[in-house]
Amino acid sequence: MITESAVEPQRLVRGRLVLLAGGTSAAGRACARALVAAGGRVVIVGSDAGRLRDAADSAPGTAIEECDLTEPAAVSALRDRVHSAHGNVDGVVHLVGGWRGGGGLAGQSDEDFAALLRSFTALRNVSRSFDDDLRASDAGRLAIVSSTAVARPLAGGANYAAVKAASEAWTRAVAQGYAKSARDAGRDLSAAGVIFRVRSLDGLEEALASAVVALWDDDAADVNDVVIEIGASA
């Protein structure tokens, strides 16, 4: 019998179904490749059919789903399709992002804020729709990519920092829900909500991918409601 300790590092994700929300970016493609290489099953979700096809080509073995993650009904339909085709989800990695800023406080327009807010809206929709899956999994993981701007917001990026701070607060609330549910049921914690922070993802896509794969190498209690900085020493 092979014990868990005998499994080689970064292979405990093997067989897990991971949904990459907004996964057509360079970071999403890196995560998809790393997860597949580690034996995970991956569904890349995006809103652009062409970018989805390109993402699938760059990470053979992945499945793709087109969905507007800002629409609750569309996300519910996505959940149903994923369940039908692949089963329940063990992980959700939220990669919907974008940047708009500059111009000091006066330059923080409502239009820019609305565009950035789509990321937070998508996070709320996806985390709620797949909440039962992650709670039921024996190793459920929700992870978001946030920014060091949350810890040191600047006037020229106030809109951006505010949305990222809201996303972190939501993820921490999800993490608290996981902990409370396990405690109330008298069982060990199996799901975790994790925040990755970066100053910029440019050049750190592979580092993020490695960190995502490694989420399944740690006990949920060790990573739940934890902020992990990537590239902090650079």
Per-residue pLDDT of 117-136, as tens digits, reads: 999 999 999 999 999 999 99
Position of tokens 């339909």?
77
Q: String of b and e for 26-53 (b: at least 16 CB within 10 Å)?
A: ebbbbbbbbbbebebbbbbbbbeeebbe
When comparing pLDDT for 1 and 180, which is higher? 180
Distance CA 40, CA 24 (A): 17
Distance CA 144, CA 142 (A): 7
Per-residue pLDDT of 16-52, as tens digits, reads: 999 999 999 999 999 999 999 999 999 999 999 999 9
Phi–psi pair at 44, nearest 5 degrees: -95, 125
Per-residue pLDDT of 182-220, as tens digits, reads: 999 999 999 999 999 999 999 999 999 999 999 999 999
Query: Considering the entire predicted model, what is its pTM?
Result: 0.93
